[in-house]
Structure 1
Amino acid sequence: MSRNNPDLSSTTVNFEQAELLLSKDIVIVDDTVENLRVLSNMLSDEGYKVRKATGGIMALKVVASLAPDLILLDIMMPDLSGFEVCQQLKNNPTTASIPVIFLSALDDTSSKVKGFQLGAVDYISKPFQIDEVLVRVRNQLTLRAAQQKISQLNAQLEAQVQERTKQLMGANSRLLEMAHYDSLTGLANRNMFMELLEEALHRSKIDSAFKFAVLFLDCDRFKVINDSLGHLLGDQLLQEMSHPLRGVVRHNDTLARLGGDEFAIILADIPDLNASIHVAERILESLKQPFYLNDYDIHMTVSIGIVLSSSHYEKPEQLLRDADIAMYRAKKSGRGQYQVFSSEMHQDAHKLLELETDLHRAIAQEEFTVHYQPIINLNTGKIAGFEALVRWLHPKRGLIPPGAFLPVAEETGLICSIGSWVMRQACHQIYQWQQQQSEPLRIYINLAAQQLIKTNLIDEIDQILAETQLKPESIKLEITESSMIQNLASTRRLLKQLCDRGIDLSIDDFGTGYSSLGQLQSFPVQTLKIDRSFIQRLDGTTQSLGLIPIILSIAKVTNMDVVAEGIETQQQLDQLRQLETNFGQGFFFSKPIDADSATQLMAQNPQW
């Protein structure tokens, strides 16, 4: 491109650069007067302010008096070399950022490297060319100006960020107040109340001496006042009611308006229930005086429910729920009274009835599913079978673990129907897996105590085997020690019938029951399952083995194999293998999983 037809954009850049470089201050340091004169004139003609120094000491004084924008520094000088001057400038925080360009007849690489190591931004060899000096000076001044502009912008941005942060903190403070306080009464709202209730509950968990109570207050016949005198006066009444309530609570208690005409109180660190009853009585007494609003004398009473903290509470909602139940009992008793929540109230019976009803529906609609936990052959490290474990897919509550519903199922007799369904599903599934696997697989199925006394259990098992085409030796039925000894004679006959069909039997949770060795020998049992409580104690030491070696010895003498339940660590697995335990089961290998996941697991052919 021709110099006479410059690009418009480059012209704009040059104008911007000229504006940036205008009146920039440059210090020239050289012990040769002629060099100073030539450089000074050249730079002055370009519009720069120029100051001169003929030696290193003088240069340091000139820079100290007023920091320049750029320093052109000779190296070879009689008093202080340029290297020494540069080092002192860079060691001083006030001058460290000033760019330094070395001017020197030393053209060897080591001198240039040393200069750059000391912090120089450029190096011009003597004899210098005017055009080269101007370009290098302009480049460094442009870069410095840009850096200063960036610093300025950063400072402005930081100031803006601080101001914005201050504004956000103020807004957050207002939002926090809105989120935690009732706008009508200024009391704590439901959100804050529940947070503080959770804190009190947590404290009671870690400090058994800390007791607290929750009082639930509901205004009696408040709807009549709202409907007859209007909502505005109703709001005023709630505001006025908050004042005597404030006078009853202590500074470390919490008074809140939950919403509508409901209030709640947390009485913290009380000695006993009587303290909360005393507060409830004071509240009722304080509200006996009428409230005078808009020429009306309004008498207002409240019904109060009281619940004392207890170790069985796990969530703050449970405390508030029970205080609410007690409040409704007080309201039914005639209003203007308090009632203390009692565990003897009919809530538990109601819940039990509700769960029983849901279980009947679940059986009819087959809401259950079977999960499978692999059982590992500890000699080979491969999957030898699965234990079938029932789960409940409740339409509203989601997946419910067995511990939450099996006790109720046992109490109501529904466990037999559930057990039959699980057995049928598990047998179907293991048959499908056996068609896909070359290695034999067994299914471990739990039998409840009530199933053992069913008169048609054998017929039911025969029917399931016929339906699924499953070989009897693929099933291992698990029974607990306690269920086995409830009716020794009938249980022994039943187990013999099962054994005659080729179905193996396993004693589940062995070591936790009360069966004697003589009783054990009288039953046709092929497997002992060591309870997880023994396995969890294993820590690699001999002392942690407990009864495990004895159980293994019993199994060996009676020609049984052993399954260790609840293996969770490599250390436990190693210790059980050293004891020559036959099989293992636990989260270390896999948690109980659905059939599809179990199929995928077997496809991976894992080995532990």
Structure 2
Amino acid sequence: MTRNYSGDILIVDDMPNNLRFLSTTLTEQGYKVRSVTDGLMALTVAKAAKPDLILLDIMMPNIDGYETCVRLKADEKTCDIPVIFLSALDEVIDKVKAFTVGGVDYITKPFQLEEVLARIQTHLSLRFAQKEIRQLNAELEQRVRQRTVQLEQEIAERLQVQERLLHLALHDVLTGLPNRTWFMKRLEQILQQANQQSGSHFAVLFLDCDRFQSVNDSLGHLVGDQLLVSIARRIQLCLRPGTMLCRLGGDEFAILLQDTEKYADAIKTADDILRELAAPFQISEYQVFTNVSIGIVIGNGVYRQPEHILRDADTAMYQAKANGKARYQVFEQTMHNLALYNFQLESDLRHALERQELEAYYQPIVNAISNEITSFEALVRWNHPEKGLVVPNKFIPIAEETGLVIAIDLFVLRQACQQLRIWRDAGIVKHSLTMNVNLSVKHFMSFDLLEQIDRVLEETGIDGDSLRLEITESDIMENAEFAGKIIAQLHDRHIQLSIDDFGTGYSSLSYLHRLPINHLKIDRSFVMRIGKNGKNTEIIKAIIALAKSLDMFTIAEGVETQEQLAQIRELHCDFCQGYLFSRPVNAEAAQNLLLTGFKTQA
């Protein structure tokens, strides 16, 4: 039976919403909670109150989480307090640094509450177990002096407790597999052997479950946990005896293949695993389909640190996901170079947000018949101090991975609403002109999206009916139930919703017709190939018919030629957007379009 340990917890986070959410939740769970907003306050409170556990954010003012942890570990009064990092940073190098400075665990934001509670309970259990063993040792020493007859029995009892503690420290509670700590210790031993013995090779496989989060979101964490156990068992069926399989955390696993001298051994193992996991999993009454993306590193004397091996395997795994998931990718040095480039780009992007290097550009959306500008789509551009103007496809993927995209979305939303207010106050636009703003799925599914939108609208004096949010079709349908609730609340605020890139993903028409969606944007790939022979015309015609049957408007993206415009008009599409009218331009140029119109003869 699992024992629940209550205790004192100190939460350190500069985001009030996070503090309030965690404090309330943990207090309801029976913990005594203190919270502070920066590292310096954390050091003071930790010395005075001596909490049993610290939840520590990384990105904070004054001193960051890493420096805070270093100072805690350097002080004899606080050095033994376990620290769990909570951070939006999800790179292996960030996690490695967290463990290097003394952290005992690392949870990536946006976190799952059940995971946070489980990690807290595990480390509190370990801490209190350590206290118990220290107390037991003290009692044993006293009793040895009084009652020597039972010495052997008591020593055996202490050894059992120590073995239990060691097992708890080195194994994953859910699957029973070795955990990250044990894996890294073993990997370090194998690496030392490879460096000492010429020709000694090994391989590391880094596995990450595909679409596991959607299982948790739709079926619950109990089903998710059972799925992880089933995945671990199937993977073990593919491994030869003595091969180490560990759970690194979350839905990540790692395999250590010893005495392998060629890629073929690792690739065969990866193929066996992918084939084994292809069959559906029966979890309770649910049939679940999932697989894994696998990164492979062949280890030899070139590597010096085990962390670098895991880093490169993780990099290769992400490449496998980018290539379509449910496949493997062998690490190549060019991937590391790209990872370093992306790391620098991420660092620059964080500074860009701080230094206000981002700028909203505007592309007009026009009435297909009258050519009148009815709205603008606000698009982000990055004025890099060295690289000049950087377009979104160069940095938005990095922003999506790191969570920075939420801050970018919010910046564009606020700047677009402010610009619309300026134009209205100057009498340049009618009240009917709207602003289209793109939302990433991470932002669309964030718990405080509506609060953020309400705040921007209030600050800028813009009504909800002047705002149209764009999100892709696949993002809505992958999270249909939750998305439906958010869309309904947006509709209550008279905020319009547009489905972007329509026709390229998948839709449940039976569900789509129940959502209060205003516009379907026909993807540019269909418009570009409409051609002289009318290629893709039937697809566009079908989308327009569908939209009209659901009382929605249609917008054709990527209109670049008079011929395309003519066919779009002939199909009775409502609105157009594309280079034929204007490229995305800054606010000044957009204002000129409003005042002078288009140069095209559209």
Larger gyration radius, structure 1 or structure 2: 1
TM over 0.5: no
TM-score by length of 2: 0.44
